[in-house]
Structures are given as structure tokens and as C-alpha cells.
Amino acid sequence: MADTGQDADSILDFVLIRSPEPVPPESLRRNYIHDGDFLHTPPGTHVPDPPTIEEYSPLGALVFKHVFPETPPADDDAMDALVAELLGQVGPTAPHPTGGTARKLRLEQLDQRAVIVRGGLYYVLPTRLTDVNAPYVPQVGAVVTALPAVSGLGLKRMAACYRTAFGADLSACVFSDDGTGHHADFEATVRGLFEALYLLYVLRRLTSIDLGEIIAGLRALHLLEALATDEVHSRCKGPGPTERDKRIIRLLALRYPALARWDGKAPVSGFPLVGTAQDAAAYLAARPVVHPLFARLFHYPHPFNDLKPLGVGDFKVVKQWLVEYTPGEICDIHNIMKGETKERVHRRLEKSEETYSFTGSFEEETSKDTQSTDRFELKREVENSLKTDLNVNANASVRYDNKVVLATVGAGFAYNRSDGTADKTAQGFSRELVSKAVSRVQTRTTEQRTSTRVFETEETNKHVLSASTEHVSGIYRWVDKRYRAQLFTYGKRMMFEFVLPEPAALFVAARLRAYEARLDLPRKPAEPAPVQVRMPVADPEEITPEKFDELRRTYDLSAFSHPPLTRTVTFVDTQSGASLQKEEGVDGSNKWYTKALKCSLPGATGYRLDRLFLTGQLQFDDHHQPPEEEADRNLVRIEIDGSSIWEAEDNRIYVPLGSRTEYAATSPYVFTRDDVDVVLVFQDIELYRMMISGQLSLTGTQALTDWRTKVYAAIHKVEKARADELDRTRRQQYDSALSAYTQRMSEIEAVVLNDLLQGTSEALNAELIRTEVRRQCLAMITKEYAADAADDLLTGWESMGVRSVQHDVTRLTPDPAAGFVWRTTQEETGYPVPKLDIARRKGSYIQFLEQAFDWDNLAHLCYPYFWATPPRWMELLARSDDTDPAMTAFLQAGAARVLVAVTPAYDDAVLHFLATREPWEGGPAPVIGDPLYLPLHDELRRRQDDRYGAEPEGEPWEFTIPTSLVYLHDSDTALPDLAAERKARQERDRDGS
């Protein structure tokens, strides 16, 4: 007998499966109740197309109107509108009706009936036969009540129960009096029960509803129709069938083709329909067929999932479990001769060294010496002079008077001598300015930084083999695993098949994420942005005298001094060195006279000439009374570098200029240098003595702008050096951090991905594989957890919330007087708590999906790596598990084929879920009228004898799987004896029990 203990592990499952068999017509007619299946076509006439659901069902027409509206609304609005209209057909009840449409609510209805509350009104749903307004409802109720008591007493008692309720002639209750169709009351009752079933089937989405009584009524009518058909058939076999019976037989031939060949004598195949009590039980177990429109509703035009079952198959599973470890083939041999020693040393060294050095030097030298001398002199001078005049005259004249020549000669002499004394006083003022560089500023900055980082990892493996007395051969063998396998059969199951892409993708990503979470993953340092130069002034124009005084308290601006806004200069002839320009005895009568000078004006560059100061006198040749000729004017003009600065006319001969006569410059002039060309222009001048001075202004000139620019540049130089220094510091820190980051990333990249994917024991690996495959199967079934989130339903239902709770917290708190004291305060904490409504709703889905499929016997087959996209091939091939070949196949799989079986008794619920996306919550379930579902239902109905439990099939067998484990041959430590360990464990468990 094969060992089927609890430690057996399913690691290789397969399923034998086939498509569902077609449903035979007699089985389709017996086991299913079809809506709208009434006979009305007279024999011999054309059979029209069957009516559609919206044509024969008023409720079907209502639902059709909402599912296929002319203007589609939003899904939620459409469902609300449909529910509101359906509840309007039910009609409201209220505890205190106020004269409206609401009926009086009885309190027992709240305890015993399915009730929906909307807008303060109660809607009691028609779950009982008595709630259906149809002719045969009392009779059907009587039969449903009586049948359980007589079902075990035989067919006759069951037929008698029907005759008691409906009358002696059952065919008269089922078929019309003229034999051309079904009786109107029978049709109305079937229609009323189906309408109630449809109504409850839709409204069960809002509350739990028991469909059992309505389905029981339909089953009772289903058996009634079969019994009535047998009555007509039995009468036609005897002498003298009535014309009505013949018409009914011809009408039934449309449903049962064998009746068309019946001659009234020989028995027809398949009749009677209800020949035994087992036949009657089959009719009473028939399932009503619900139109898919009611099952899918708004998913009918666009099904949420087009998944279909693969079929019904023999669910056979191969179970295998580990029996023993056995030494396998030789993997390596180490030979050491006598007296020989072999030593193998493996050293792995990683070393990284980084050195960074920086040196900077800056020197500056400035020399400046300023000397100024003012000198005021008073000179007194006494001069004695002796003047002597000596005059000698001689003259001769000759005159010719045509006849004679007359000559006259004359001579004269005069001598004059005078003696005199003169006193002279002179006053002089002079200024001497000498500038010389005497100041020396020297700055030398030296900076040296050295950063050395050494990273070293050394791994040394030493393996020594020695043979002292005899030759030694060390033989290493692979370790093989020996398994025992057994085939088990679980009977017939409805199957689903999926092909899943890369089943290990999430597991691999999770392992990498877990490694990343444990890892001290460095963050790549951000490259520092260049440091911006921050200036205390935004523009040179902001440097005013006040601002300059403020700035030189922070910056070394000793090389700069704010120039005076105004200054006075004297025009000094550079050739003579005199400031007084004079000239006497000029013959300028009615003439122009000019005097060109080269004058020095120290410090005038950049200043503007605003006013002139003239000292001295002018003497012209004559009075000038305008208007006169242009050439006879008393005029003086001063020109600087060719520009006329000042000009004046005067009608006087003698024009005193006073000590400092002020004249405004006729046109502004800005000095571009300290040496200028001055031209004195006169007209009709005889004598001039002039000392020229000027009042200069700096405001608004280029010199002031240049000075401000130089100061701004000096400040910018200091700030730029400061920014460069900070830039160097940051760059050094960045380079150091980047080196550390690069080194750390190199260490991380050296980790082999395959090492992170190694599994654990085979049992845990198998459970992990089943879990991952199961998750992807659920994604296929429910359309959850897929790449497209538009179809998610459960994913967005957050079933956990937070509840804020005030609670006491006692802490040791510092106290100025006592040091530390215990104080209790109240704090608010959020406790995770379930959201009951969402948790209950989501729980129904989880419970259904977990129980509806046989996840424990999930069968899967891993396909090779090349079914993934080619860019993934190298990665998939690099994955492996050294000890578990099943885990290796899972990790390398490019796809996986999966077969999952439906749990027994969940077949109808699973089919309902695929049609409606809603779990079935218990109770008898109708069958959805899908062409595929009916064969599946019928197949499973007929194959329920061997579905429960697993039975071994055939004899067990053993096989061996190699591993990458290595074992030393003839080692003193033997491989584990698993059979002995299992036997000892079983004995301990038996003794403990």
C-alpha cells in the first residue's frame, strides 16, 4: 500500500479532461424547466421563430428597456432606476399607511420574509407561492406541501396527490379544451411563477432571498405537465381516442418527434415519461432555466469576463513524496600520494583608494604715498635805479634846384642824468601736490586638502589535503533524491484552464524589493550647482558716498576714495609754470589776436566745467559802441580743446576783472585729460592780465560711473573669490561622496541575483508556487489585480478603517523642582478597525472564491523561458534554485499552464459568478440559459457518484531526481534515513494519542 501520509507533497499534478457531452433531448426536456415553452401551433402549419424574452415576459421587457436604453446612463444610475421600477411592481408597505399606495406592514413579515427598505418604505418580496397571483397557485401549494410525505410511497401515490389537488383528469388542467395548445390557466401559472423568479433573481443582489418555494412550484407544474402528457398518450393507445386527444398527440409530436410515427398500437420509445418513482423524482429535481438577460443585466451587452469552463473531466492527480537521499554519480576525485600535502588557497581582494589634493596661492601688492604742501609767500623788494640819457643828433640834407645844388649840414648833443628809488611788494600763493606709493599690501593664501579613502575586502579560503601514511583518494558524489509517486482520482470535475505569463514575476520582484528594503542603499549625491556671487549692491549706481562708507567697513577699499563732487582748479601754463597769463603792447587795433597755451589741470579728468573765475584786467584799443563794424569790437573768448567755453564783449577801454569775477560757462565741457589746450581769443586788445580758475562738477559724468564700476568690480572680485572657495569646498565634498557612492554601488552590483532567489525547503517552495499560480488564476477569473484597473471591483474595497481613541499615557517628564516626575496625559490614537459593511460584502466574495475551487489540488506545468519576450530570456535563464528543480522550473518559466477544478457542489455557483460577477449565497439555484452551461449541468448531474474523496489508482512507482548537493564517499556521516525518521514520528504520534 502506498504511503499517503500527511507529509506527502503534490509536486507534479496533471488532469485528464474532455469537453462536455451534448445533452440528449429527453434529458434536456426532463431535467430543465424552460420559460415560454408552450404549444400553440396547430399541426401541419409553419412553425414560427420562438418569441424573445421581451415579447413573452413583461418583466423581460422592463429589464430589456433598462439594459438597452436609447440613451445609456451611468452604470450606477441605470441599476438604481431598474431597482426602483422593480420595487414599484412589488409595492410598498408601511407600519402606518397614510392613505397612499403603501399597504399595512405586519411585524411578522420583518422576521419571516425578505424585505428591502428604501426611503422609509418596506418592500416585502414575493418569495412565497401565495404571493403569486395565478390560477393554479392554491393547487400547486397543496401539491408542494403533500409531495414530501408521499414521495417515498411510489408513483401511484404521487399521481393521486396531483389528482386530489387538480382533479381526476390532469390533461384537462394542462391542455386546452380543443386540444390546440396549453390551457390558459396553466400558462398563466407558469408565467406568474417565472416572473416572480426573475424578480427575485434580480433583487437578490440587494438582500438574501430564498428562491426555494418558487422553484418548488415550477417543479410541481413540470411534473404535472409530464403526468398529463402520459394520460393523453395512454388514452390514445386504447380504443376510440377522442378527437381532442388526437390533436394533442399531433401537437406533442412537435416536442417529441417519436409521436409523429406512432400508429396507436406499438409503444413509442421514451413513453411513458413518468414510468417510475425515479422518473418523478427527476422531474421534481429539474432546474428552471433563467434567461441570461436577468443573470448578467448590464453585463449582457458587454460581459465582464468571457471566460468559459474547459469542460468536465476525470480529475486525476499524481502525488509524490520524498523517500530517501542516495549517493549518485561521481562529481570529483582528489588524489594525494603518501607523504604529499596539497594546499589550495583562494584569496579575493577588493581595494579602492582615492586621494584628492588642492593648493591655492594669491598675492597682491599696492604702494601709495600722498604728500601735500601749501605755501603762502610775502616778498618785499627795494630797487635803486640810476637813469642816464644821452642824445646825439646829426642830420644832412641835399636839395637840387635845377641849377645849383644846395647842401646843408647840422649837428646837436644832449646829456641827461636822474637818480630814483622804488619800493616793490609781491604776494604769492602756491600749492604743491606730490603722490607716491608707499603702502604695501601683501596677501598670500595657501590651502592644501588631502582626502584619502581606502576600501579593502579580503576573503581567503584555505583547503588542505594531506596523506601521511598511505595514498588517499577523496571521492565526491552527487546526492540524488528518490521519490515515490501514486496516481489518485477525484472523480468528475468541472475544469478551467489558464496559460499564465511569467508566473514567478511577482515573487522575483518581491525578493528584490525585500533585499532593497534590508539594504542600506546609498543615495547618489546631487552634483552641486555653481555658487552664485552675492553682491551687497545690485548695480554700481547704488554706490553713493554713504553706501561707500558702509561698504568699506566690510571690504578692503583702501585703494579707492570717493572723489569730491565739486572742485576748483587753476589753469597753469605748463611751459612757463605761471598761472597769470599776461601780455602788454599788443597791437590789436581792429585786429584779432590769439594766444595758445598748454595748461595743466591736475585731477580734472572726468569733471565738468560749470563756472569760470577770472582775476586781472583787460585794456582795449578804443571804445566800442555797438552797433559798429564787426571788426571793431572789444571781445574776449576762451576756448578749450577747440570748444568755445566763454565769450564776452565790453564797450570800455579798460575792463577790470576784480579779484574773482565769476562767469558762467556758455557751454558745458567735460575734461577727458588733465592737460588741455587753451586758446585766448581777443579783438581790439592792447593789454591783458588774467588768472583763470574753474569750478568743476562730478555729478552725471562718466568719471563717476567709472569710479563706481571700479568699486563694484573690486567688491565683485572679493565675493567671487568667496564663492569660488565655497564652490571648491562643495565640489570636494561632492567628489568624496560620489566616490563613496560608486564604491558602495559596486559592492551592491557584485551581489548575484540568483543568490537572492534561493528558496527554502521543497514543501515551502511548493506552497509558494501554488500561491503565486493561484493569485494569477484569480486574476483571470475575477479580472482583479490585472494591468488594467478599470475592471477592478474588490481591489478598491478598503475593508479596514481607523477609529480615533482617547487614552491615558504615563511618561517620565522633566520637572524643574523635582527633576523627573511621572505625569499622565490623554492622547488620541488611531486604531485599525474593520469597516463592517465593506468587510461583510468583500468577505462574501473572498469566502466564495476560496471555497469554490480546489486550490489544494491545483495542477500546473511550467513552460520554458522562450515564451517570454526575448529581452527577458537572459534574466530568466540566470535564475535557478540549487536544491529544488521544481523551483528552478518556476523561476525560469516564460509561461505556465494551469488546470483548476471546481469544488463539488459549487458548479452552479461558479457558473453564476461568471455570468453575474456575484457569488451565490446558498439555496437552490436556477440554471442560466447559456448554450454551454446546460451541457455542463447535465453532465455533472449524471456524474456525481464518484466525485467525493480521492482513491488511489494503479500501483505506485519510484523515480530519482538529481540535485547539486555533494557527498563524500565512505563518509563517517551517513545520509538521513527518511523512512526510519517517518516511522519513529508515527510511533511518537500514536503513543501521544
Output the DSSP codes for 699-721. TTSHHHHHHHHHHHHHHHHHHHH
Q: What is the pLDDT of residue 856?
A: 82
Share above pLDDT 70 across residues of the chain, in percent, rounded to a whole number? 77
- CATH, domain range 566-697: 2.60.120
Q: Report residue 774's pLDDT band, with 50, 70 and 90 as the boundaries.
A: very high
* Per-residue model confidence (pLDDT) at position 700: 60
- Average pLDDT (340-359) is 64
> What average pLDDT is seen over the chain?
78
Report the alpha-carbon distance of residue 759 to residue 976 in Å, rounded.
Answer: 21
CB atoms within 10 A of CB 573: 15
Q: d(Cα 878, Cα 889) in Å, to the nearest integer?
A: 12
Helical spans, DSSP H, in 20-169: 25-31, 53-56, 58-67, 75-90, 107-112, 137-150, 155-166
What does the pLDDT read at residue 432?
52
Q: Is the pLDDT of residue 628 over 80?
A: no
CA distance linking residue 60 with residue 636, whole number of Å: 124
Is 88 exposed, middle or buried (CB count within 10 Å of its CB: 0-12, 13-18, 19+)?
exposed
Which of 5 and 466 is assigned the larger pLDDT? 466
Average pLDDT over residues 600-614: 83
Give CA–CA dist 783/790, Å, rounded: 9
C-alpha separations of 933 from 575, 630, 647, 762 in Å: 128, 132, 123, 39
Of residues 431 and 501, the one with the higher pLDDT is: 501
- Kindly give the pairing relationship between strand 635-640 and strand 859-863: unpaired
More confident residue, 331 or 459: 331
Looking at residues 898-913, what average pLDDT do you find?
Answer: 83
pLDDT tens, residue by residue, 54-105: 888 999 999 999 888 887 777 667 888 899 999 988 888 888 776 667 778 7
Q: Region 672-677: what's the mean pLDDT?
A: 86
- What is the distance between the alpha carbons of residues 293 and 305, in angstroms, rounded to a whole number? 15
Query: In this structure, are residues 663 and 611 in contact, taking their beta carbons and an 8 Å threshold?
Result: yes
121 vs 626 pLDDT, higher one: 121
Q: Lowest-confidence range among 98-102, 482-486, 671-675?
A: 98-102
pLDDT at 22: 66
Is the pLDDT assigned to residue 864 strictly greater than 60? yes
Q: What is the mean pLDDT of residues 606-630?
A: 77
pLDDT at residue number 706 = 80
Average pLDDT over residues 606-619: 84
**pLDDT given at position 27:** 77
Provide the pLDDT confidence category of residue 946 given band limits of 50, 70 and 90: very low
Dihedral in degrees, nearest 10, Cα atoms 694, 699, 700, 705: 110
pLDDT recorded at residue 855: 87
Pairwise pLDDT comparison (761 vs 291), residue with the higher score: 291
Has residue 383 got a pLDDT over 60? no
Residue with cell 564663492: 723
Confidence of residue 500 (pLDDT cuts 50, 70, 90): very high
Lowest pLDDT segment from 387-401, 783-797, 865-879: 387-401
Which pLDDT tens digit goes with each residue over 139-195? 999 999 988 877 677 888 888 899 999 988 899 999 998 888 899 999 999 999 999
Q: What is the pLDDT of residue 297?
A: 87
Count of CB atoms situated within 10 Å of the CB of 25 = 12
Start and end residues for every CATH 2.60.120 domain found in the chain: 566-697
Which of 335-344, 356-365, 388-397, 860-869 is least confident? 388-397
pLDDT at 138 over 90: yes
Between 362 and 671, where is the model more confident? 671
Does 462 score more than 50 pLDDT?
yes
Strands 287-290 and 32-33: parallel
Report which of residues 318 and 683 the model is more confident about: 683
When pLDDT is cut at 50, 70 and 90, the band that residue 136 belongs to is: very high
User: Does the structure show a pLDDT above 80 at 872?
Assistant: yes
Give the least confident one: 317-326, 426-435, 749-758, 972-981.
426-435
Section 757-761 average pLDDT: 72
Helix (H) or strand (E) holding 172: helix 170-174
Phi, psi of 336, rounded to the nearest 5 degrees: -130, 125
